[in-house]
Each structure stands twice: as structure tokens, then as C-alpha cells.
Amino acid sequence: MKKIKLGIIGAGGVAQFGHIPSLQAIPGVDVAAISDTNKEKLEFVSKHFGITDTYTEYEHLLKRQDIDGVSICTPNHLHAEVSIAALQSGKHVLCEKPFAINVKQAEAIINEASKSGKLFLENFSQRFDLTTKIINSYISKGKLGHVYYAKCSYLRRKGHPGLGGWFTHKKESGGGSLIDIGVHVMDLGMYFMGSPKPVSLTASTYDYFTKHADDGGWPPNSTRLGDNFNKKVDTEDLATALIKFDNGSTLFLEAGWAGYSETGIKISLFGTKAGVELLKTVGGVDEGRPIYFKIVEETDGHLVESNPVVPETFSYWKNTFPGFIQHFVACIRDEEKPIMELNYLLTVQRIIDSIYLSAQTGREVKL
């Protein structure tokens, strides 16, 4: 087994709950260094996880020739800058979503990744959820037929992340609920549909809860050492879109941080042979736990519902997130092929930009 050394750039909640523990659990992986401009947080995280080499400037970490790759866990507006620098230094890169905050940045990253020949992945960890794998097993065997319509939603009632911090400050985040949680279910919908080419969309965004929003508890208070939470809150709290594809299929998307609405991660797939209904919890230790999970199909002329069984111990942070991290390491070791292509990541960013444009103009956008 090839031993590899990895660095962490950004020491916030997703690094502490996801990247670092998931990487340290993989045999032959050494989380050798970590970087963050927040000295107080950097010191705490390095001691807590036993990472001895620390840097307040990520450029110094990237100069190390013994580091094979990095996980980028910075605020969104730094993703492009750090990703390009890491690729230019010869490092493999796993970047948190969204990997860019506009198409121009996305194109620059994709060009650099293509030129460098290094691995670049965006953290669409929901692809490694057990429910995703079960659904894909049906799709790969043709049991769903052509998936022509999907409804994908990720909704919270009171769930603004890091209220007053970079998450809710558009200059640093690039957007609100759409690029924070909406991209996860949008990616799932397109993944289940076979990644068709988007041709047009119509979208709306809303910010009715901005002035009286509640902090959703993410990232946890224990990970907020030294952070500034006095920034302007100016991101959307709900985004909706209807996306049409070149093969005639359609995806309806909802992503909300706040609202008097249903809650959870919900996926509905309409196939020509069968359908899927999935609702999962959001928040807390049971994040990702299915509330209901049904496959609807016809057998001997009768409609039949079956319920795939997911272990009660299953959760996002214990299973789903580590699955994607393991995939990143396996790709570095040439044991697996990347689950997503670079051009696909660019397509996702184009959709995000177009959703915001459609919402702003009130018009349909052609892609």
C-alpha cells in the first residue's frame, strides 16, 4: 500500500468533523501539516488531532515537497486561489464545495487541473451515501428505466450556518443556501439522471429570513475559536429552480436554510419502469438517516412498494463523508478512477451562476 502525506488548508468545522478524522482513519495516510490564518484555532486543532506541523500561510505548506495532496477547507472565496496554487505546486486537491464562486474561477481551476495532470475533486460526498449506492444499483441494472423527472430538495427550518460569519456574507461565500446545501442534491439528481446536458432553467431566490435569522448550529461552537461573526448577512435563505436537459428530462430543485416548511433531504425520481422516494434527516447525530425509503415498481401487473434497509448506525459523518475521503485517497493511489469529470464540475458551476442570474432578472436563462 502506497503511503501518502496530506495537508489540510483551513481548520474550521468541516476539517475538524470531516476531513481530518476521515483521513487519519485510513491506513498509510499521514495528515502531516495544517494551515489556517486563525492562530488560536490552528493551535487548538493541531493539538487536538496531533498534527505537529502548522502554518499560518498556506503557501509555506505548499512548498513542502513531501506533501502529496491537500484538502481545501477554507471559506469559499479562497477556494480558487488556493486550488490553483496547490495544483501549480504539484499537489493533488480535494476542495470543499463550491470549488469556485463563479464560472470564471471555475474555468481557471479546470484549466490548471488539466494542465497539471494532478487529481482534482470537489467534495460531493452525498454520492457515497448508502442510499445513493442502493439507488444506483437499480439504475445500473436498468430497473428504473429512463429517469425523466427528479425532485430534489434540502430544506431546514432554522439552519443558517455560522450566522454573521463568512457563510452568510456573500462576498466571502458567493451565495447562500443554493451553494451551501443545494449543490449536494442538485448533484445527486443529475448523477441519477446520467449527467445530461442542461439547456435552460428558471429560478427564484428569497431572503425573507435574513433580518431575523437563527444560527443553525453549524459549524459547532467548539470549532469557532477566533472567528468573526459580526459580518453583514446578505445571502439567500431559499433558492428554487426548474432545470431542463437536452434529453427532455427535468430537475426541480429546492434549497433552504429557513422557512415554515417541510424539512429534510428529499429525492423523488420518476423513471419509465420504476420510481424512488427518499427522505432523510438533516442536523444532529442522525444526519442522513432515512425517514422513509421506497422503490415503487410494477410486478405481475401490480404496483409494489419495497423498502431498502439502511442500518440504524448509519450516519453522514460516520459513513457518507468518510466514503468520499477514502475515494480521494484511492484515486491518489491509482486504485480508483475519479467519480466525476472536470467538465462536469464546470457544468455545475454554470448552472449555479445561471440560477442566480435567472432569479435576479426574473427570466429564463439558456445555457
Domain residue ranges of the chain, discontinuous segments joined by +:
4-123, 126-324+346-366
Q: Which position has the grid cell 472565496?
A: 77
Best CA proximity match to 58, nearest among 25, 24, 93, 30: 93
23 close to 325: Cβ distance less than 8 angstroms: yes
List CB contacts of 128: < 8 A, sequence separation 6 or more.
320, 321, 323, 324, 327
Peptide bond into 220 cis (omega under 30): no
Q: What is the pLDDT of residues 101-155, one digit of tens each?
A: 999 999 999 999 999 999 999 999 999 999 999 999 999 999 999 999 999 999 9
Q: In a 3-state reduction of DSSP, which class is residue 7?
A: strand
CA atoms within 13 Å, Cβ hemisphere of 296: 11
User: Hey, which bits of the chain come out as E strands?
Assistant: 4-9, 29-35, 53-55, 69-72, 92-95, 120-122, 147-155, 198-206, 238-245, 250-256, 264-271, 274-280, 290-299, 302-306, 365-366
Q: How far apart are CA 40 and CA 152, in angstroms?
A: 39
Could you tell me which residues come within 8 angstroms of residue 338 by beta carbon, excluding any fewer than 6 positions away?
Answer: 119, 121, 331
Residue 303 burial (CB count, 10 A): 10
**In the chain, which residues have pLDDT < 70?**
none
> Looking at residue 287, what is its pLDDT?
85
What φ, ψ does residue 58 adopt, rounded to 5°?
-65, -25
Enter the C-alpha cell of residue 18.
Answer: 470531516
**Residue 64 CB neighbours (<10 A):** 15
C-alpha cell read off for 1: 500500500
CATH number, span 126-324+346-366:
3.30.360.10
* Cell numbers describing residue 216: 443553525
CATH number among 3.40.50.720, 3.90.960.10, 3.40.50.300, 3.20.20.70, domain 4-123 = 3.40.50.720
Could you identify the residue written with the cell 468533523? 17
Element (H, E) at 323: helix 321-332
Q: How many C-beta atoms lie closer than 10 Å to residue 102's C-beta? A: 16
pLDDT given at position 81: 98
Specify the pLDDT at position 313.
Answer: 87
Whether the Cβ atoms of residue 50 and residue 44 lie closer than 8 Å to each other: no
| The pLDDT value given to residue 300 | 93
| Spatial separation of the C-alpha atoms in residues 337 and 119, rounded to whole Å | 10
Per-residue pLDDT of 213-223, as tens digits, reads 999 999 999 89
Task: Return the CA Rg of the chain.
Answer: 20
E strands present in 58-177: 69-72, 92-95, 120-122, 147-155
